[in-house]
Amino acid sequence: MHTMKNKLIAEFFGTFWLVFGGCGSAVLAAMFMTTGDSPVNLGIGFVGVSLAFGLTVMTMAYAIGHISGCHLNPAVTVGLVVGGRHPVKEAIPYIIAQVLGGIAGAGVLYLIASGKAGFNAADGFASNGFGELSPGKYTLVAALVAEVVLTFFFLLIILGATDKRAPQGFAPVAIGLGLTLIHLIGIPVTNLSVNPARSTAPALFAGGAYISQLWLFWLAPIVGAALAGIVYPLFSKSEKN
C-alpha cells in the first residue's frame, strides 16, 4: 500500500502533466504558422489537442495508476467516491493536490508561452468559457449540458474500464481514448473541461471573465461525475445465482 503522501505527490505530477500537455498543445501547437511570403499552418488543430489530452491521461494512468489511481481531476475523485470506489476521507486532499498540480503545470506553460512576442494570457490561454468566451459562442445552457453529459460518460468509461470484471491492463487505453473523444465533441462548445482542476489552472493566468465563469466548470463536471457514480452501480451488478 502506498502512503497518502505518495498518492498526493502522484496526483500533483499527474495533473501537472495533464494541464501542461493538454493546454500546452492548445497554446503552443494548435495554430502554428510558418514564416515567409506564403505562411503555412502546421498546427495540430482540434484533433491534435484532443489527442494530446487523451495521451496525457493514458500515459499517466500507466505511470501512476498503481500509486494513486490516477484521478487527475476533482470530478473523477467525486465520481469514484460516490460510486464506492474511493475513500471519502481522501477526496479533499486529492482535490487539493490536483488543483495545485494543475496550477504548477499552467505556470510552467506560461513561462514558455510568454517567450514569444505578442503572447497575452488574457487572450484565453486554453481556458474554458461560455457565451463570448466559448470558441463557438455557445450559450451558458449549452455549455452546462455539454459539460454534465460529457463528464457523466467519461466517468461511466472510467468506472466500467476499471471494474474488476473488465479486461485487465486496458483501462488506461479506454480512458485516454474516451477523453480524446470527449474533447473532439466539446472543444467548440466550452474548450472542453470535464475537469475543474484543468479549468482553474489556466483561468488564473487568463484572469477577468475566465475566472468569473469558473463556477460552471466546477459545478457541471462534479454533477455529471456524481450522477455516473450513482448510475453505474445500478446496471453493472451481476445477478447472483
Does the pLDDT value for residue 240 go beyond 60?
A: no
DSSP 20-67: IIIIHIIIIISS-BPPSSS--B---HHHHHHHHHHHHHHHHHHHHHHH
Question: Within a 10 A sphere around the Cβ of 135, how many other Cβ atoms?
Answer: 16
Total domains in the chain come to 1
Task: Say if 68 falls within a structural domain.
Answer: yes
Domain membership of residue 183 (yes or no) is: yes
pLDDT over 70 at 241, yes or no: no
Distance CA 96, CA 93 (A): 5
- State the average pLDDT for the chain: 96
Quote the pLDDT of residue 239. Answer: 63
Structural domain includes residue 47 = yes
C-beta of residue 227 within 8 angstroms of C-beta of residue 150:
no
**Residue 207 forms part of a structural domain:** yes
Q: Say if residue 137's pLDDT is above 50.
A: yes
Q: What percent of the chain has pLDDT over 70?
A: 99
Domain containing residue 157 = 4-235
The DSSP 8-state label assigned to residue 85 in this structure reads: S
In a domain, 133, yes or no: yes
Given a cut of 60, is residue 123 above it in pLDDT? yes
Looking at residue 177, which CATH number applies to its domain? 1.20.1080.10
Q: Give 33's strand partners.
A: 41
**CA torsion angle 143 148 149 150 (round to 10):** 80
Q: Is residue 240 part of a domain?
A: no
Catalogue the E-assigned strands of 49-162: none
Distance (Å, whole) CA 197 – CA 222: 11
When pLDDT is averaged across residues 142-163 and rounded to a whole number, the result is 98
The whole-number pLDDT of residue 34 equals: 82
Nearest to 232 by CA among 184, 185, 171, 162: 162
Cα(80)–Cα(78) distance, rounded to whole angstroms?
5
Q: Are 200 and 103 in contact (CB under 8 A)?
A: yes
241 located within any domain: no
Predicted confidence (pLDDT) per residue in 33-73, tens digit = 888 778 888 999 999 999 999 999 999 999 999 999 999 99
Mean pLDDT of 5-28: 98
Distance CA 179, CA 199 (A): 15
Cell 487505453, located at residue: 173
Task: Judge whether 33 lies within some domain.
Answer: yes
